[in-house]
A and B are shown apart, each in its own frame.
Chain A
């Protein structure tokens, strides 16, 4: 039965005649007979669907989702609800971009190489590093690639990661590292400040002499790591490399990791144009500060560079240093990465261009201001931050004796907080995250605080 998505399904006989066969099965005559499927696959709904039937099927499935945000969700845990401007979605819906392949023929895809070059340039400026690649899958795999990069560069076989780095990121690093003999250990956080325990970090680095020390700021608890300079000193004294994971949304107000001693920077574009997408896709940011050019040749992923036309009269952008990559270098490549997250990287470039320097600073301030207001309001209704001496940004880890009930109570009112963190940190059994971004109004935060107050009343009665 023919289908409109398959134009020649309407003229199969004509093509069969051209090819010189009388039965389609002849095309499969090299497939051992016992392997040929005789039954139809049990997939889809047993018959093709019309477009409208598909819309109905989809809509019914979507109706099974029970969540309903009365106010923008306060959910955190590494990714938060940020606004994706219409311009970003509009540009990403240009099908010259989204239906294109990797720019292997750069003369006809200059739009993509150019946009990626701009992405690389913008990111390098945000993080104050020399080179950022054209993206990897997401923040978690960017971190895993970063760790493996340090192993190749230093020849050492271990990595030390702050335990307050996103736990799923640490899990991914372990999956990508431990089977090939790279040991991964964690450094605990200070129970008062929520920041990395500097003395424990120093001990481990002295003892292990790891390839890398990796640290996230603000960390999983929302705490700003204030000691990057000190960390950097310890790391470099011991011949290790420093990896800093920072969400790009904060680069308008926090000093760039590249200026605080990071050799490798890592991030994710979820906050700057990709959106939540139930966890993916986004683009992974991976960059290097590389004054002595020790890292560049070991950097994984595509790189776009400037070049001239062969006739020397014009210029353009192409993929460069491809001898690092799998399609040329095969088993000696720096990574297996092929498909990356180009469209998400382009969205990030559009987002950043739209905001500009002033916008990014204002946005950072507006998130910082809301965080301070949130902490103040939550305290006023009896919700205490888990780390009394820490400075929170965007996300706040708070403590409550009935945190699970509180969360469910809020959810019943269409107000979403979380996740609770005990699944990752058993010692933080009564703690949950609240995330606040530019989308939350004063009234939204007041609504949250008021509901927390109400919950306490209900509990008391």
Chain B
């Protein structure tokens, strides 16, 4: 068994370390007289008289958060095989360069002529991404993937309205889709029509056909889908969707599996979002910030959010006159720092992005082969097919035979020094583990992960209660998701928590 024990600090909540008399930074009081005169001009009731946040010295702040960091886990510590999250290694050179003062201190309202280098990076990245997905234009305005989905859904909506087809109010989404797809469609005012998955793991083309109508605005697909399977009938789907006047939306979360091998634009997709923090190695930051891109071709390109970065042969500039733009999806120009990391990533690899897809897929299929041979494990969809960037296995059999389910296995992986994969998703696979090791895990690491699964399954058959007690080696043991969600227990701030425990 891999020896792993996470740090466990008995670290109080920051409010309980605090003492009022301390300060963590030295501030000048040069302008205090001016300040007092200033405040005397304001009505008293709009001046604050009490604020109670913690006050710590500098070293206490550093220790507190360093201790917290030791109770966290990221790619730099070990594999994070979360499916559809593409938790690849974040190259350190990208981190270092993107924190350059010339970037982080650049004000968004500097004149274009003064930030030509920055604009060149953004323009070039737009071009590279458009080439990668086979679209005409990309906008970096979207701060994350879901913002790209909203932008795309709004573009589709406006496109139909401009054609006098505002009655198209349905967005078709397969049942294997990421939850953000139906959520984005609904945010843009569409009714969501759900399509099942066929036994080979494709979107059921008969059901899709039956769902297409004059009310169809578009179809949102992820390809490869969340089962890690390429949509085999994508060409037919595109033809039929276009045939009834609908549009095809590409969710780029899973682009890693076809990078350099196939392009959504060539498949017939009209609009696509990308997650720069997945495919293009910008870090996830514990949940964000990420960065997105929204790309379009043909008529849809006129609907992209503004501004775009343009080049007139002499200078780079922000282009606002996109004829039918949906407007701004966010302020300024997007999440620049992660976007620059992705620029540096693509600049480094260049044509080697093909290696990314090849090795991601090799790693996936190698691991799938080993795992699917284990007792208690099943595939459910797409037997005999190659997976792309990820695969999904079901522990339903294991659960029935031992009482150990997908969540228990996940917690037991934590005990062995691995982050768990995405679990209980996609919803169409019972007791699912959705596993994506990416191209940045070595064979040794993958073998270690496989061995951990093997060991867990063995123990599940011999001593299931041991697995059900997991995790033991993390900073806390298994947390009670029911307790924390009971209305009487809900505590979202220290103030409320103190009120409840007092």
Q: With A65-B117, A96-B72 as given contacts, are A180 and B188 in contact (CB-CB < 8 Å)?
A: yes
Contact between A228 and B46, CB atoms less than 8 A apart: yes
Give chain A interface residues in 312-346, CB to chain B under 8 Å.
Answer: 312-316, 318, 320-321, 325-333, 335-344, 346
Central interface residue in A2, A11, A98, A181, by most chain B CB within 10 Å: A98
Closest B-chain residue to A139, C-beta based? B331
CA A102 – CA B105 in complex, angstroms? 28
For B497, the chain A residues whose CB sits under 8 A away are 306
Interface residues of B in 59-98 (CB under 8 A from A): 61-62, 64-77, 80, 82, 85, 87, 89-91, 93, 95, 97
In this complex, what residue of A is CB-closest to B46? Answer: A255
Q: Is B461 an interface residue, CB under 8 A from the partner?
A: no
Name the interface residues of B353-393: CB closer than 8 Å to any CB of A: 353-356, 358-359, 361-363, 365-366, 369, 385-386, 388
- B138 adjacent to chain A (CB < 8 Å): no
Q: Among B56, B132, B484, which residue has its beta carbon within 8 angstroms of that of A41?
A: B132
Contact residue among A15, A49, A256 (Cβ-Cβ distance under 8 Å from B347)? A49
| Known contacts A100-B74, A336-B150, A352-B53: A62-B179 contact under CB 8 Å | no
- B121-157 interface code vs A (CB 8 A; 1 in, 0 out): 1000000100110000000000111110110001001
Name the residue of chain B whose CB is nearest to the CB of A407.
B111
Interface status of B477 (Cβ within 8 A of chain A): yes
- Is A95's CB under 8 angstroms from B6's CB? no
Is the Cβ of B337 less than 8 Å from the Cβ of A112?
A: no
Contact with B along A51-72 (1 / 0, CB 8 A): 1001101100111111101000
B287 partner residues in chain A, CB cutoff 8 A: 100-103, 112, 134, 302, 339-343
Within B25-82, the residues touching A (CB, 8 Å) are: 25, 27-39, 41-43, 45-49, 51-56, 58, 61-62, 64-77, 80, 82
A67 to B109, CA, bound (A): 12
Q: Which residues of B contact A411 (CB under 8 A)?
A: 111, 114
Please, which residues of chain A bring their CB within 8 A of the CB of B207? none
The count of residues in chain A whose C-beta lies closer than 8 Å to any C-beta of chain B is 205
The reply to whether A12 and B332 contact each other, CB–CB distance below 8 Å, is no
Known A130-B493, A363-B27: A43·B132 in contact at CB below 8 Å:
yes
A350 at the interface (CB under 8 A from B): yes
Interface assignment of B113: CB less than 8 Å from any CB of chain A: yes
Q: What is the distance, in angstroms, from A199's C-beta to the closest C-beta of chain B?
A: 19
Q: With CB as the reference atom, state the residue of chain A lying closest to B190.
A: A331
Supposing A105-B419, A280-B336, A353-B61 touch, asked if A331 and B183 sit within 8 A by C-beta, the answer is yes
Contact between chains at A108 and B330 (CB < 8 Å): no
A240 within 8 A of B: no
Is B106 positioned at the interface, with any CB of A under 8 Å from its CB? Answer: yes
Q: Which of B242-250, B294-302, B398-406, B435-443 contacts A (4 or more CB under 8 A)?
A: B435-443
Residues of chain A in range 248-287 having any CB-CB distance to chain B below 8 Å: 251-256, 260, 275-283
* Distance between B185 CB and nearest chain A CB, rounded to angstroms: 7
A110 within 8 A of B: yes
Q: Is the CB of B51 within 8 A of A65?
A: no
Among A94, A275, A283, A307, the residue within 8 A (CB) of B489 is A307
Q: Which of B87, B182, B440 has the most CB of A within 10 A?
A: B182
Number of A-B contacts (CB under 8 A): 701
Least Cβ–Cβ distance between B191 and chain A, in angstroms: 8
B201 to chain A, nearest CB (A): 10
Q: In the bound complex, how far is the Cα of B37 from the Cα of A371, in angstroms?
A: 11
CA distance A306 to B186 in the complex (A): 31
Chain A residue contacts of B143, Cβ below 8 A: 137-138, 141, 280-281
| Separation of A283 and B143 alpha carbons in the complex (Å) | 11
Chain B residues within an 8 Å CB radius of A416: 107, 110
Report if B323 contacts A (CB, 8 A): no
Q: A65-B102, A309-B477 are in contact. Are A328 and B179 (CB under 8 A)?
A: yes
B465, chain A: closest CB distance, angstroms: 13
A150 to chain B, nearest CB (A): 15
A295 on the B face (CB < 8 A): no
**In-complex Cβ contact of A331 among B34, B73, B186 (8 A):** B186
Residue in chain A with minimal CB distance to B422: A104
User: How far does the Cβ of B94 sit from chain A's closest Cβ, in whole Å?
Assistant: 9
Which one of A65, A78, A104 contacts B114 once the chains associate, using CB atoms below 8 Å?
Answer: A65
B49, B97, B108, B356 — which one has the most chain A CB atoms within 10 A of its CB? B108
Partner among A85, A276, A342 whose Cβ is within 8 Å of the Cβ of B106: A276
Q: Tell me whether A87 and B62 are in contact (CB under 8 A).
A: yes
Chain A positions 1-59 with a Cβ under 8 Å from a chain B Cβ: 1-3, 5-9, 11-12, 14-16, 18-20, 24, 26-32, 34-37, 40-49, 51, 54-55, 57-58
Given A107-B414, A419-B109, CB of A326 within 8 Å of CB of B484: no
B18: nearest residue on chain A (CB-CB)?
Answer: A356
Q: Are B305 and A338 in contact (CB under 8 A)?
A: no
In the assembled complex, A362 has its CB within 8 A of some CB on chain B: yes
A146-198 interface (Cβ within 8 A of B) = 148, 166, 168-169, 171-172, 174-176, 179-181
Select which of A118, A175, A339 is within 8 A of B289 by beta carbon.
Answer: A339
Q: A362-374: contact bitstring with B at CB < 8 Å (1 yes, 0 no)?
A: 1101101111110
Q: Is the CB of A36 within 8 A of B128?
A: no
Contact in complex: B109, A57 (CB < 8 Å): no
Candidate in B111, B258, B348 with the most chain A CB atoms within 10 angstroms = B348
A340 to B143, CA, bound (A): 9
Query: Which residues from B are CB-within-8-Å of A371?
Result: 38
Give Cα distance in the complex from A371 to B39, angstroms.
11
Shortest CB-to-CB span from A139 to chain B, Å, is 7
Provide the bound-state CA to CA distance between A54 and B92, in Å.
Answer: 12
Chain B residues with CB below 8 A from A29, complex form = 386
Q: How far is the CA of A350 from the CA of B64 in the complex (A)?
A: 9
- For the A-B complex with A61-B118, A330-B183, A369-B30 known, give 16 more contacts whose Cβ atoms are closer than 8 Å: A8-B442, A35-B267, A46-B351, A48-B349, A94-B65, A96-B77, A107-B476, A138-B143, A226-B42, A278-B107, A278-B336, A336-B149, A340-B289, A350-B61, A372-B34, A438-B27
29 A–B contacts, CB within 8 A, in A order: A15-B443, A32-B234, A41-B132, A41-B260, A54-B344, A87-B24, A87-B62, A98-B95, A107-B414, A107-B471, A108-B73, A111-B475, A121-B495, A122-B54, A278-B336, A279-B333, A280-B330, A282-B289, A318-B484, A336-B183, A338-B179, A342-B289, A343-B288, A346-B65, A356-B56, A357-B53, A358-B55, A365-B39, A441-B30
The 8 tightest CB contacts between A and B, nearest first, are A369-B31, A279-B332, A44-B350, A356-B55, A307-B484, A99-B74, A343-B285, A111-B72
